[in-house]
């Protein structure tokens, strides 16, 4: 590849001011003696200038206000989600604590044998399983209810 060909490849980037000082000097020196490259550089610089001077599109009226309103809405939704998470965590904790307390009390009252549908739920493992099913079912229902409430509140807004 001769000098002219290698410089030709750099002319577009030179017009976009995207070359190093050294490369730019090479292009400019070559353009001084090569009418073809000089013309190419001039034309492409017109494009660069034209792009820099394009009329900027006008931002729609109220863009800022609408953006702030949306951010407020998002912040409120995030705060609500955090509150729901906290509520659910506390409920789950309370459920487990009350389940254990109830198990201890039930064992004390029933004398360690408390049959439900033929199964002795006074055994810790069975009781834990029962509690887990109850707690997670309740939590699942709570999540669905809270989410539906949030969705309908958002639709109203």
Partner 1 sequence: MILAATMLPESISCVDNAIARFRRGEPDALDAVIPEYQFRLYRFLLRLVQEPALAEDLFQQTWVRVIENASRYKAHYRFESWLFSIARNLAIDHFRRMRNVSIDAPDERGDAPVERMAAPDRDPLDSVLDFERGSILAAALGELPVIHREVLALRFEEGMSLGEIAEVAGIPLSTVKSRLQRALENLRERVGTRLSPGGRS
User: From the list 24, 44, 76, 100, which residue makes contact with partner 1 (rule: CB under 8 A)?
Assistant: 44
CA distance 106 to 12: 85
CB atoms within 10 A of CB 35: 9
Interface with partner 1 includes 154 (CB under 8 A)?
no
Check the CA dihedral 66-67-71-72 and report its sign: negative
Query: For residue 116, what is the enclosing H or E element?
Result: strand 115-116
> What does the block give as tokens for 93?
């904790």
Report 56-85 residues binding partner 1 (CB under 8 A): 56-57, 59-60, 63-64, 66-68, 70-71, 74-75
What is the nearest approach in angstroms of partner 1 to the Cβ of residue 53?
7
What is the nearest approach in angstroms of partner 1 to the Cβ of residue 17?
9
Which residue ranges make up the site for partner 1 (CB under 8 A)?
Answer: 12-13, 15-16, 18, 43-44, 46-57, 59-60, 63-64, 66-68, 70-71, 74-75
């Amino acid at each position: 590849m001769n000098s002219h060909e290698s410089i030709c490849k750099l002319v577009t980037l030179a017009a976009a001011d995207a070359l190093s000082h050294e490369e730019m000097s090479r292009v400019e020196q070559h353009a001084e003696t090569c009418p073809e490259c000089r013309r190419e550089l001039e034309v492409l610089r017109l494009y660069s200038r034209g792009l820099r001077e394009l009329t900027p599109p006008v931002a729609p009226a109220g863009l800022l206000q609408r953006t702030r309103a949306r951010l407020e809405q998002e912040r409120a939704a995030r705060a609500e989600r955090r509150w729901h998470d906290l509520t659910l965590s506390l409920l789950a904790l309370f459920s487990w604590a009350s389940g254990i307390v109830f198990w201890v009390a039930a064992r004390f009252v029933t004398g360690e044998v408390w049959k439900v549908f033929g199964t002795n739920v006074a055994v810790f493992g069975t009781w834990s399983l029962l509690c887990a099913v109850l707690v997670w079912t309740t939590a699942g229902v709570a999540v669905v209810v809270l989410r539906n409430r949030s969705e309908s509140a958002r639709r109203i807004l």
